[in-house]
């Protein structure tokens, strides 16, 4: 009996031990499965490299990149922003000329740094190696779907019942559109390509570069109004570039030419809530947009056209097929990832960031130039914005500056002398009294531009004071040391810290305070 009980106890013990072992075994398998699913394999090294490069701060005045230069020690090298130098970009170049010519949209870079995890793309070495997508097309259907959703969310363009073509930025699509529209005229004479000055200079230079028997650039649109509406001038066919908001002056342009023999290409690169109010969705036959002005990713070279007519669409597709055979799959994947982020919170997150930054810059610029009689800004009218549901003042990408003094006929030269490089007005088909200044560059660029303009306006005020001062006020002038060169501690470049807008503001406030004190004493 005792032996039987002992065997029973032993059996029970073994059974319990076996059950425990099985539980431990299954727990191990489950843990291994979860660990395996969470463990990076082939992408681990790529992620580590990307994190390592992006962790280099470059003193906040530059960046390191995976495709950048490598030091002798095998480490990435900082690529410094303009006017900064040194291994870590910490050294400011005092006499540096600020580049306000380029429209490099780096003002959105801080947004993407804050959204690094959501906007990062990890791509395998075998990602879409073939020419076409699975359906034989050259465009990502998911990306096309997101583009349509984007326009519906923002309310800036009608896409229902329209065709969409992808291109390498809007630049490629502009000529594809000219080619497609000129092929529909049925005329033996070339279509006249026109625009309203001031116009984006690429319209002229690109049309002249690709000039053929089908189209030719013919300058100012307004000079052809009578021809476009005349029934006797049917041999004259027109293709008009309409830019809204306009580059360079930010105006919401409309087509000038009317009639059956006038066709339009609407360049809507800047028709987004961070540059302008969106009064209503654009509903035109051919509209072109670009990623560079939407998200700031100019280097990705991606744009799209929204087309109403099927024949025009097919001609543009044929052009793209023969020109580049579509847009790189890597570019389309990155664009898709970026648009996913843009569409978060119904687009408010990114567009609010962009609008606030551009509003801040326009506020600073307007404040500086409002006290000047030598320089003036373009007039911009606030409008109701359907996206934000409020009245908004335009905050365009560029300032369109006019030199008002009779002797300042070459405004570009005037600003260049003040160490500011803009784009001359004559490049846009306008007078040389105008110059375009970019406001979308990096924060460092804008800080320096702000400082240079402050100095320019300050010198204007001092020159006016010196010219109007009587002999009796000479002692007052000496008290403020106005006769000495403008390289004192108060205004010297080397002592202006460009690391933040706030510090630049303090310097500006000091200069303006001194000026106001002098004005009060003299007048």
CA 322 vs CA 190, 318, 325, 326: distances in Å: 22, 6, 6, 9
Collect all residues with Cβ–Cβ distance below 8 Å to 420 and sequence separation of at least 6.
Answer: 97, 98, 100, 437, 449, 452, 453, 456
Place domain 44-93 in its CATH homologous superfamily.
Answer: EGF-like, alliinase (2.10.25.30)
CB 111 within 8 A of CB 435: no
Residue 486's pLDDT is 36
d(CA 257, CA 238): 8
Sign of CA dihedral 265, 270, 273, 279: negative
CA 16 vs CA 4, 20, 188, 441: distances in Å: 18, 6, 96, 72
Q: Say whether pTM exceeds 0.95.
A: no
- Specify the length of the chain in residues: 523
DSSP for residue 157: B
- Domain 141-346 falls under CATH 3.40.640.10: yes
Collect all residues with Cβ–Cβ distance below 8 Å to 338 and sequence separation of at least 6.
Answer: 119, 291, 295, 297
CB 244 within 8 A of CB 268: yes
Residue 523's pLDDT is 43
d(CA 315, CA 318): 5
Residue 30's pLDDT is 54
d(CA 306, CA 504): 43
DSSP for residue 136: S
Peptide bond into 484 cis (omega under 30): no
DSSP for residue 223: G
d(CA 451, CA 469): 27
The residue extents of the domains of the chain are 44-93, 141-346
Tokens, residue 30: 């489950």
Tokens, residue 317: 């597709």
Tokens, residue 436: 């375009």
Torsion angles phi and psi, residue 253, rounded to 5: -75, 155
Residue 292's CB is within 10 A of a number of other CB atoms, namely 22
d(CA 437, CA 421): 8
Query: End-to-end alpha-carbon separation of the chain, Å?
Result: 124
Q: What is the dihedral of CA 93, 97, 103, 108, to 10 degrees?
A: 30
Residue reference for tokens 């009294």: 433
Give the chain's residues under pLDDT 70: 1-38, 185-186, 228-234, 469-523
SS (H, E, C) 279-334: CCCECCCEEEEEHHHHHCCHHHCCEEEEECCHHHHHHHHHHHHHHCCCCCHHHHHH
Residue 297's pLDDT is 98
């Amino acid at each position: 009996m005792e032996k039987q009980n002992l065997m029973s106890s032993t059996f029970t013990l073994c059974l319990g031990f076996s059950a425990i072992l099985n539980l431990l075994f299954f727990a191990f398998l489950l843990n291994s499965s979860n660990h395996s699913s969470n463990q990076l394999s082939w992408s681990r090294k790529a992620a580590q490299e990307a994190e390592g490069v992006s962790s280099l701060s470059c003193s906040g005045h530059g960046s390191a990149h995976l495709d950048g230069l490598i030091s002798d020690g095998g480490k990435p090298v900082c690529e410094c922003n303009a006017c900064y130098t040194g291994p870590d970009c910490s050294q400011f170049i005092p006499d540096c000329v600020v580049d306000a010519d380029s429209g490099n949209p780096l003002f959105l870079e801080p947004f993407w740094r804050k959204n690094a995890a959501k906007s990062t793309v990890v791509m395998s070495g075998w990602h879409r190696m073939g020419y076409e997508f699975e359906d034989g097309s050259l465009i990502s259907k998911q990306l096309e779907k997101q583009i349509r959703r984007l326009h519906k969310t923002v309310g800036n363009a009608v896409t229902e019942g329209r065709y969409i073509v992808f291109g390498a930025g809007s630049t490629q699509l502009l000529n594809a559109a000219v080619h497609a529209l000129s092929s529909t005229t049925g005329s033996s004479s070339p279509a006249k390509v026109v625009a309203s000055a001031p116009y984006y200079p690429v319209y002229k230079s690109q049309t002249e570069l690709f000039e053929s028997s089908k189209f030719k650039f013919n300058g100012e649109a307004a000079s052809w109004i009578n021809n476009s509406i005349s029934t006797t001038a049917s041999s004259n066919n027109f293709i008009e570039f309409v830019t809204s908001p306009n580059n360079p002056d930010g105006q919401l342009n409309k087509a000038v030419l009317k009639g059956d023999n006038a066709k339009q290409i609407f360049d809507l690169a800047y028709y987004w809530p961070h540059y302008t109010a969106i009064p209503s969705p654009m509903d035109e036959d051919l509209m072109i947009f670009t990623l560079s002005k939407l998200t700031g990713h100019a280097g990705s070279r991606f744009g799209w056209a929204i087309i109403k007519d099927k024949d025009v669409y097919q001609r543009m597709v044929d052009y793209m097929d023969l020109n580049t055979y579509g847009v790189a799959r890597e570019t389309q994947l990155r664009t898709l990832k970026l648009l996913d982020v843009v569409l978060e919170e119904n687009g408010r997150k990114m567009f609010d960031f962009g609008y606030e930054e551009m509003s801040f810059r326009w506020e600073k610029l307007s404040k500086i130039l409002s006290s000047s009689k030598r320089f003036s800004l373009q007039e911009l009218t606030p409008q109701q914005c359907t996206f934000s549901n409020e009245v908004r003042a335009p905050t365009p990408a560029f300032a369109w500056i006019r030199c008002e003094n009779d002797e300042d006929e070459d405004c570009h030269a005037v600003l260049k002398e003040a160490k500011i490089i803009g784009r001359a007005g004559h490049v846009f088909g306008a007078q040389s009294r105008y110059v375009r200044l970019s406001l979308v560059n990096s924060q460092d660029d804008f800080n320096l531009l702000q400082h240079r303009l402050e100095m320019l306006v300050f010198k204007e005020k001092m020159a006016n004071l010196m010219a109007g001062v009587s002999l009796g006020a000479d002692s007052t002038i000496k008290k403020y040391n106005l006769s000495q060169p403008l390289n004192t501690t108060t205004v010297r470049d080397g002592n202006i810290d460009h690391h933040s807008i706030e510090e630049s503001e303090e310097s500006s406030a000091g200069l303006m305070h001194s000026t106001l004190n002098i004005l009060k004493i003299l007048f």
